Amino acid sequence: MTTASSPTPSELLESARRDHAALVERGLSLNLTRGKPSSRQLDLSADLLELPRGRYTAADGTDCRNYAGAPQGLLELREIFAGLLQVPVEQLIAAGNASLELMHDSLANAFLGTVPGGTGRWADAERIAFLCPVPGYDRHFALCERFGIEMIPVPMTDEGPDMDVVERLVSADADIKGIWCVPKYSNPDGVSYSDEVVRRLAAMPTAAPDFRIFWDNAYAVHHLTDEEVEIADVLAACAESGNPDRVLVFGSTSKVTFAGAGVAFLGSSPANVSWFQGLAGKRTIGPDKINQLRHAMFLGDAEGVRAHMRRHRELLEPKFETVERVLTKALGGTGLATWSTPKGGYFVRLDVLDGCAREVVRRAAEAGIALTPAGATHPYGDDPRDRTIRIAPSFPELDALEEAIEGLAVCVRLVGAEKLVAEQG
């Protein structure tokens, strides 16, 4: 069936081996592992390093240097992000420098107390399970492992998690207490949840009365195209469905201002916010209000955030275009890989032939190209088809990125051809 112009698998393998040897020869040192902003992106917030320039009072007169005041976070900062995160300002908490902390503490509080609507401490349950749409975010999975939460994978579709599967599982199993969601520009697919998926998540019957959606809206304002995707308001949808306490909304400025020194947010129902704040009030007298003041001064308002994110896009869009261009040129039409073309967020999902992802990552490492470990996108590091690789193009400069993706493509060709040849043999 092979036409004269199509190389045989053996020919493919031969040329891929030559290319890989040459690649190793070059002794590269490139890193595509984590979704870190680049230095030039961080430079966009350089003024934060000069703020608050002697000012220390919040709009309500609170002395941000001292203990008291604003335990829920500075109102002027919450006002900026309330609309962007689709949370009423009085239901939005502004806290420390990482939304991961707020997810962790929400779990810890559920394990050591009783969440609104719950019947007891999760720590006392025989078994606690969470649904994990796959591929997903490895730090969510690490939190589950840390708390001994069983992870149940659920397939992703182009519109979010497969809701038929989700509904079937949560209606039958009261041990399933939650689901991880990255609802916009998901990590690593770049999928944004459809209105219908949001509606079904909000309305579905759950066997657990204290079921929680962990809504990690990490890329709420992180657009890469003019489309600027909007998702449905999950908090409102839950309230309208009679499940007001179902969802915890998380967000942060980690990829808006500084990844290590930003501000994180938690939004939810009045009951959940009051529950969380009651416990947070035992843990701390309050968040770093000076850093919140700094952020409010720097960003100004929601339009200020949008304008700032357009400057991020100017730096990020060429990188995602480079990934798309290089992958298309090197792998398009080969049948050896498919990949996502996200409209926002920080990642490209690359799927290689079944059983090849680990080997591709290993071959890339041989050539000095560090990738997120294969399997990291799945609970327990176990990608049953061993095919998904997460590409994080944000951090390297453009020329290094191009080199890295070209090298990665060589590894995909090599491992793919090896598989095809082995199957022939």
Binding site for a copy of itself (CB under 8 A): 34, 36-37, 39, 42, 45-46, 49-50, 52-56, 63-68, 96-98, 100-101, 104-105, 108, 111-112, 121, 123-124, 139, 142-143, 145-147, 254, 258-261, 279, 282-291
* Of 420, 404, 405, 392, the residue nearest 335 (C-alpha): 420
Minimum CB separation of residue 95 from a copy of itself in Å reads: 10
Minimum CB separation of residue 347 from a copy of itself in Å reads: 15
Of 285 and 422, nearer to a copy of itself (C-beta) is 285
What is the token pair recorded at 72? 């829920």
Of 70 and 412, nearer to a copy of itself (C-beta) is 70
Helices (H), 53-126: 75-84, 99-112
How many C-beta neighbours within 10 Å does residue 25 have? Answer: 9
Of 108 and 234, nearer to a copy of itself (C-beta) is 108
Cα separation, 141 vs 34, in Å, equals 16
* Of 223, 181, 198, the residue nearest 346 (C-alpha): 223
Of 120 and 318, nearer to a copy of itself (C-beta) is 120
Place of tokens 């939460």: 149
DSSP 305-372: HHHHHHHHHHHHHHHHHHHHHHHHHHHTTTSSEEE---SBSS-EEEEESTT-HHHHHHHHHHTTEE-P
Of 227 and 397, nearer to a copy of itself (C-beta) is 397
Of 280 and 369, nearer to a copy of itself (C-beta) is 280
253 — phi, psi (to 5°)? Answer: -100, 15
Minimum CB separation of residue 51 from a copy of itself in Å reads: 8
Minimum CB separation of residue 397 from a copy of itself in Å reads: 14
Helix (H) or strand (E) holding 142: helix 138-147
Of 47 and 366, nearer to a copy of itself (C-beta) is 47
Of 17 and 34, nearer to a copy of itself (C-beta) is 34
DSSP 221-250: T-BSSTT------HHHHHHHTT-TTSEEEE
Place of tokens 């589950």: 144
350 — phi, psi (to 5°)? Answer: -115, 120
